[in-house]
Structure 1
Amino acid sequence: MQYEVLRNGATEVPYSSILESEVRDGVFACAACETKLFDSKQKFKSGTGWPSFGRALPGVETENINPVAAGLVGAELRCKTCGGHLGDVFNDGFLFVGSPAFTSGKWYCIDGAALVFQPRNGDSFVAGDVSPPRKQTPSWLEHPKINSQTNSLPQ
């Protein structure tokens, strides 16, 4: 998926990246070249299933597009260093009250597969093309067990 996103402009399935729920202090960098793209202090929960940010670092390049169109369909974002597709930026940050996007007026909606998270505490990097752990189904949602017996047909 990482190659498809970065090089072919694909969009990952919502909630398919472990980075959507990443909350530690650090920097989100390009998965292809490690250019620093977003600071974790600008990350917020948009409810869309993609990592979302209110501001970008200088490593992000934005497509030139009419501001009205950017509010509706978004403007494409690429890594300034390697040209990898990252996601889109929208001019509707004001919709996310209390978030960094509300302050900036911009919402950076990013494919997690295009990113690598670099924690400031020195922990190992986390690749965004890793799926989050599957949640265990609560017991009350599991199908009830039944007692069954095998019926043998007369011969």
Structure 2
Amino acid sequence: MSQFDLTPPSPAQRDALIAGLSDEEQRVLLHHGTEAPFCGVFLDNKLDGVYTCRLCGLPLFRSSAKFESGTGWPSFFAPYDPAHVREIRDTSYGMIRTEIVCARCDSHLGHVFPDGPPPTGERHCLNSVSLGFTENGQALPNPLQRQGAEAQPA
């Protein structure tokens, strides 16, 4: 069970969060788009910290789980907490894949593939535009103004 509140944002909260997104962020997060490879802001990020959902701020992946996959998108072998990422069967474009979305706000993050490194063998392939980043020791984003773990540093 997550230490974070996974209750979805209210419709009014969601509308307010969406209003702060760029067109590209909306295309990817809300309409299941994919950013071009090798251009995402977090592809080469080497800082220690936590990657969060761009829309709702939920912690999704730790920098310690990031690895260089050579695919052109930030890749991670394990989520921050398995409860924070939901998997959905994706049959778009004539392929069978597993889409990953934020468990709190349902924003599209990317896909997970079974070709990652140990210990999980998974490659969570993320769109940088779907993410925020908080360096260790800094306050996590809390756009929903929730108490508890949300109010703690990364």
Q: Distance in 1 between matches of 2:130 and 2:88?
A: 17
Q: Which amino acid aligns with 1:7?
A: L
1:104 aligned residue: 120
| Equivalence for 1:81 | 104
- Please tell me whether Structure 1 or Structure 2 has the larger radius of gyration of its CA atoms: 1
The answer to whether 1:22 aligns with 2:25 is: no
Q: Gapped runs of 5+ residues in structure 2?
A: 1-23, 142-154
Query: Does residue 122 of structure 1 match 2:138?
Result: yes
Pick from 48, 61, 68: which aligns with 1:45? Answer: 68
Return the match for 1:33 from 26, 49, 56: 56
Identity %: 34
1: CA distance, partners of 2:97 / 2:45: 24
Q: Report how many aligned residue pairs link the two structures.
A: 113
Residue deviations 1:88-145 (CA, integer Å, cap 9, x gap)? 001122xxxxxxx3321111000110000111143998xxxxxxxxxxxxxxxxxxxx
Which runs of at least 4 in structure 1 moved beyond 4 Å after TM superposition? none
2:88 matched residue in structure 1: 63
**What's the TM-score once normalised by structure 2's chain length?**
0.67
Instruction: Tell me the TM-score normalized by structure 1.
Output: 0.67
Q: Unpaired segments of 5 or more residues in structure 1?
A: 66-71, 94-100, 126-155
